[in-house]
Amino acid sequence: MGRRAAALAAALLLAAALSGCSFAGLDAQALMRAPRPTGENEADIQNLLEQTAGDEMILKYPEAGQYHAAIVSHDLFGGGSGGAMAFYQKDENSPSTSVAFMRKAGGKWQNAG
């Protein structure tokens, strides 16, 4: 009888331990991150955003309007020097969305205000 109770208790503990990914710290949100940009300009812009807003920054995508990307490259300042704007939240608990304006000067991306 004691062996049977021990086997049942072990089976119940094993079933509880293997019942879900979040119990073991393997929930999907903790294991995933947004893909990193691969183009030269996009990667440089992403690095500048992370320096400005922090590593916990979350890119936000507009739901309406002409542009549906979180980072929009456009000649914002005239002169063809290159410009971009990005929509982001500082972290998942941030209640507001921020906009960063950047320009390329001397071959390097920098904040423009």
What's at 42, amino acid-wise?
E
Average pLDDT, the chain: 81
Residues 22-50 have a mean pLDDT of 73
Q: List alpha helices for 1-113, DSSP H.
A: 2-17, 28-31, 40-53
Centre a 10 Å sphere on the Cβ of residue 105 and count the other Cβ atoms it contains.
13
Q: Tokens 């109770």, residue?
A: 5
Residue 15: per-residue pLDDT: 78
Name the residue with higher pLDDT: 40 or 89. 89
Q: Rounded CA gap, 45 and 7, in Å?
A: 58
Burial of 102 from C-beta contacts in 10 A (0-12 / 13-18 / 19+): buried
Q: Where are the domains of the chain?
A: 1-32, 36-111
Q: Provide the pLDDT confidence category of residue 46 given band limits of 50, 70 and 90.
A: confident
Residues 40-55 have a mean pLDDT of 85
108: left (phi over 0), alpha (psi -120 to 50) or beta: beta
Residue 61: per-residue pLDDT: 86
Q: Tokens 């949100």, residue?
A: 29
DSSP-assigned letter for residue 4: H
Portion of the chain with pLDDT greater than 90, in percent: 0
Q: Provide the pLDDT confidence category of residue 29 given band limits of 50, 70 and 90.
A: low
DSSP-assigned letter for residue 22: G
| pLDDT of 106 above 60 | yes
pTM of model > 0.75: no
